[in-house]
Amino acid sequence: MAEEVKRTSKQLLKDIQDGTYARAQEAKANGEPVVWATSICPDELLNAMDLATVYPENQAGVIGARKEAMKFIEQAEGVGYGPDTCSYARVNMGYVDLQQSDSQEIPLPDLIFSSTNICYTVQKWYENLAKKLNIPLILFDMPFNHEYEVTDSATAYIRGQLENAIKQLEEFTGRKMDYDKLAHAMEINNETCEWWKKATDTGMYTPSPLDGFKMFNYMALMVANRSFEDSRDCFRLWYEELEQRHAEGQGPWSSAEEQYRIIWDGIACWPHLSTTYKLLKKYGINMVTSTYPQSWYKVYETNDLDGMARSYTGNYANRNLDFGEDSMEERIRNFNVDGVLFHTNRSCKLMDFRTYEVQRRIMKSTGCPSVVFDGDQTDPRVFSDGQYETRVQALMEMMDKYKEQKRKGDL
């Protein structure tokens, strides 16, 4: 009997993603409800209620990466959404009108499930969707953490909203919440997040066995499937593969060596993913870590609604500048980083407003060099190949000096 070929984490990742979209299409075909949800929302509630769920942000990223975004963006702008509106929102609004995509189709929703802990654009974006489609909206109003730690009052405020959301889901489905299933989903969420962290922390090795751009691909499960066992198993397998690469002395690529180690700050430029990746690889620059994919590390202090509430309002994008500075400094130290590449994403106003201050602070505290380039997560018109390469070349020059200073002990 032929030996069974073990699936790789990459294959498992594809199977899980395909299964998520297939389940939603099947639910719609069978007259069952489909939910559209924002990233970093408490989707454990949806899992426990057995609701088929898809994430328009994931779909928009796929559409952007496959260079189909402009037809949806132009449709949305044509009906009045300005070019300064988040391009994920414009792609999604255009998709609702056109309802056809060669890249990735998703069924229209019967319920909107939204959380403002990533930004406040999603509030109006999803309110508009609910109004346009005449469907219910469950919205979590997540307070911004102006203090360094998440306060007890913020935790209590979100816990109340979680309890109310459960009631709304019970009314929507006509079924009671299965709290045993919810507790299990929360436990799996924690396990998934821990394996995600272990896998991405292999970037601390020198050379890193992790090609950091792969985080952007695997991150899809952290957005949409954190509380499912197959996602946990995928990240555990990915971690084992990365540890095996490290044990064999392999770096991030088979055709090039890691010369520089950087942090990528911000969302990927999905329409220009190949360009941004290949240029860095050309110069031996490996993105060993990023603040963006780590936003989905949602581990609860306690496995109850209080722990869930504290975790969901405490993610990176919803924390103050001091927290952002400390997080960046910790990554510079722990991952032995040579530089930081900041993506000023036209769509992501919240993070862009912070970029230059965080850049100034880490330069002062660590001496770590950095550059900023202009781009967008899905609107291809904002990015410039020439500017990007010029900035990367400038960063290389600064990193050479920084590495020499570290070697001499001058820092």
Classify residue 1: in a domain, yes or no: no
| Judgement on whether residues 94 and 130 belong to the same structural domain of the protein | yes
- The rounded distance, in Å, linking the Cα atoms of 375 and 275 is 12
How many other C-beta atoms are found inside a 10 Å radius of the C-beta of residue 324? Answer: 21
Q: In which domain, by residue range, is 263 found? A: 182-408
Q: SS3 of 337, please? A: coil
Give the CATH number for residue 387: 3.40.50.11900
| Judgement on whether residues 156 and 193 belong to the same structural domain of the protein | no
Residue 2 has pLDDT above 60, yes or no: no
What's the pLDDT at 5? 66
Residue 1 has pLDDT above 60, yes or no: no
| Judgement on whether residues 160 and 218 belong to the same structural domain of the protein | no
Alpha helices, DSSP H, located in 248-384 = 273-282, 305-312, 321-334, 349-366
Q: How many domains does the chain have?
A: 2
| Judgement on whether residues 256 and 137 belong to the same structural domain of the protein | no
CB 234 within 8 A of CB 16: yes
Classify residue 22: in a domain, yes or no: yes
Classify residue 2: in a domain, yes or no: no
Residue 4 has pLDDT above 60, yes or no: no
| Judgement on whether residues 329 and 210 belong to the same structural domain of the protein | yes
Residue 142 has pLDDT above 80, yes or no: yes
| Judgement on whether residues 134 and 191 belong to the same structural domain of the protein | no
Classify residue 345: in a domain, yes or no: yes
| Judgement on whether residues 153 and 192 belong to the same structural domain of the protein | no
| Judgement on whether residues 193 and 326 belong to the same structural domain of the protein | yes
Lowest mean per-residue pLDDT among 46-55, 99-108, 306-315: 306-315
What's the pLDDT at 298? 84
Please compute the mean of the pLDDT values over residues 103-132 and round it to a whole number: 94
Which of 177, 212, 233 is the last residue before a domain boundary? 177
Give the CATH number for residue 43: 3.40.50.11890
Residue 28 has pLDDT above 80, yes or no: yes
Tens-digit pLDDT profile for residues 71-109: 999 999 999 999 999 999 999 999 999 999 999 999 999
Whether the ω angle into residue 207 lies within 30 degrees of 0, i.e. cis, is: yes
Please compute the mean of the pLDDT values over residues 217-241 and round it to a whole number: 94
The pTM (predicted TM-score) of the whole model is 0.94
Classify residue 3: in a domain, yes or no: no
Q: What percent of the chain has pLDDT over 90?
A: 85
| Judgement on whether residues 99 and 216 belong to the same structural domain of the protein | no
Please compute the mean of the pLDDT values over residues 126-146 and round it to a whole number: 96
| Judgement on whether residues 249 and 317 belong to the same structural domain of the protein | yes
Q: How far is CA 107 from the centre of its chain?
A: 22
Q: How far is CA 134 from the centre of its chain?
A: 29
Task: Spell out the residues 6+ positions from residue 94 whose beta carbon is closer than 8 angstroms to its own.
Answer: 71, 72, 73, 74, 75, 76
| Judgement on whether residues 171 and 236 belong to the same structural domain of the protein | no
The CA-based diameter of the chain, rounded to the nearest angstrom, is 68
| Judgement on whether residues 114 and 238 belong to the same structural domain of the protein | no
